[in-house]
Structure 1
């Protein structure tokens, strides 16, 4: 299934995209941790298959992030060897973990704001994992896959000076306002299939900048979830950004960082497409 939230920011309506392309009201308060923890995906699937969900007119409606109010956003850095190389970093022996403020999440077509005093705002197309069950001390890859509700596209926008030159504390360069466009859909794990064979692309002003595949992750999705569960409790509604392939501004000749007026477009196989215009914070 493909679930999404439509409407004005802060007042989105949860819907599901059916096989014919219609939006249908899922009959739930929202798509959030409580929904996922209480078996919401199974309820929606049963109602959709039974034809009980009314059609919603989505014409002209804004698309919000598909997950409301994630409890936390956990990120994995340097998870593609080509990105590590372009960043001048060694390939990590264990996942590089950092956190991103949950309120960075915006819709997939919302404006991304260059922070004040920023000169090095950068892009990163990433596969986002949405957690659907509580995970602590998982002992196998199979157990890790069982707690995944689904996947989405994430743009892990980053300010490289704040991240790398202001004390080396990555969270400062990752948690600025609007720095995590998410969506358009939460695609359930069964529909995605193998998360390790998804093409990932990002364009800036129509120029292809990133062209990778999730098969090239150093640590794959199952290992990331299993590993993280030994350091923190993962809860329904949490989001994990799993890393980006090469092609970010930091590693390109001339380092063409984002400026107001630039347009980013992102896509991952089966997960839809994003588009953001860059503005000023």
Structure 2
């Protein structure tokens, strides 16, 4: 299934795409699409629905982050060897973890705000994992059982804040609008292999990132299991799995970064596309 949330901020409703790609309203069946609705029982019941009988949503409404009530966003840094190389860093021996504030969450096509005084705002197309059931000290062998599905994400980053303001990556990752998620939550049954997904990103029509999750240093089971040793992953938590090469910081012959008016367009196999226009402040 492809599950969505649509509507203006603060008034979003749950929905689902039918087999023809028509957006259907789920609000008469679900109060929201949040942690309580991400378990296998609810997802199985939704999968059994005849979605063609649900009301079609007219027009082209705004799409929100497809998961409500996200508790935390855990990110894996330097999870592609080519990105570590362009960043001038060695491939890590263990997953590098950092957090993004949930206030950074935004819809897949909402504007991205460049912070006042920012000098190095950057892009990162990523595969996101949505947790469906509680995971604490889980093994790699059962880690995928805790995954509700996958999302497309843009881990927008202000590099000067990330690396030049005291060494805390979270500072450069957590500004409002720095976590566009969606357009859909694609349930795990529709993603037979999360390690065979093409990822790409364009800035102003120029393709700058082309990658595939088969080039992960640490795959999805490893990442979920590893994080669960240090913190409990709850339903609705989102894990961002890292970005391939091609970020602004790694551009040759010199880095270049986002400015107001720039347009990012990104996508991933089976996970849809996003488009964001950068604005000031």
TM-score range, shorter chain: over 0.9
Map of 1:46 onto structure 2: 48
CA contact (8 A) 2:40 2:148 kept: no
Q: 1:22 Cα deviation (Å)?
A: 1.8
Map of 1:223 onto structure 2: 222
Q: 1:48 Cα deviation (Å)?
A: 3.2
Q: Greater shift after overlay, 212-221 or 247-256?
A: 247-256
Map of 1:191 onto structure 2: 190
Q: 1:43 Cα deviation (Å)?
A: 2.2
Q: 1:200 Cα deviation (Å)?
A: 0.3
Map of 1:276 onto structure 2: 276
Matched position secondary structure for 2:49: helix
Map of 1:251 onto structure 2: 250
Distance (Å, rounded) in 1 between the aligned partners of 2:45 and 2:21: 20
Distance (Å, rounded) in 2 between the aligned partners of 1:16 and 1:187: 10
Map of 1:142 onto structure 2: 141
TM-score normalised by structure 1 residue count: 0.96
Distance (Å, rounded) in 2 between the aligned partners of 1:241 and 1:48: 32
Matched position secondary structure for 1:190: helix
Map of 1:114 onto structure 2: 114
What root-mean-square deviation, in Å, do the aligned CA atoms of Structure 1 and Structure 2 show? 1.2
Distance (Å, rounded) in 2 between the aligned partners of 1:259 and 1:119: 9
Map of 1:22 onto structure 2: 22
Distance (Å, rounded) in 1 between the aligned partners of 2:21 and 2:279: 31
Unaligned runs of 5+ residues in structure 1 are: none
Distance (Å, rounded) in 2 between the aligned partners of 1:197 and 1:21: 23
Map of 1:68 onto structure 2: 68
Q: 1:223 Cα deviation (Å)?
A: 0.5
Q: 1:54 Cα deviation (Å)?
A: 1.6
Q: 1:38 Cα deviation (Å)?
A: 7.6
Distance (Å, rounded) in 2 between the aligned partners of 1:48 and 1:25: 12
Distance (Å, rounded) in 2 between the aligned partners of 1:57 and 1:42: 23
Superposed, 1:165-244 pairs within 5 Å as 165-244=164-243
CA contact (8 A) 1:69 1:103 kept: no
Matched position secondary structure for 1:223: helix
Distance (Å, rounded) in 2 between the aligned partners of 1:22 and 1:105: 25
Q: 1:47 Cα deviation (Å)?
A: 2.4
Unaligned runs of 5+ residues in structure 2 are: none
Question: Which among 28, 38, 50 is matched to residue 36 of structure 1?
Answer: 38
Aligned residues: 278
Distance (Å, rounded) in 1 between the aligned partners of 2:41 and 2:50: 14
CA deviations 1:96-153 (Å, max 9, x no partner) are 00011012110000000001110000000000000000001112x2310000000010
Q: 1:68 Cα deviation (Å)?
A: 1.1
Distance (Å, rounded) in 2 between the aligned partners of 1:38 and 1:225: 17
CA deviations 1:47-68 (Å, max 9, x no partner) are 236x6x5222241311111111
CA deviations 1:209-242 (Å, max 9, x no partner) are 0000000010001100011111100010000000
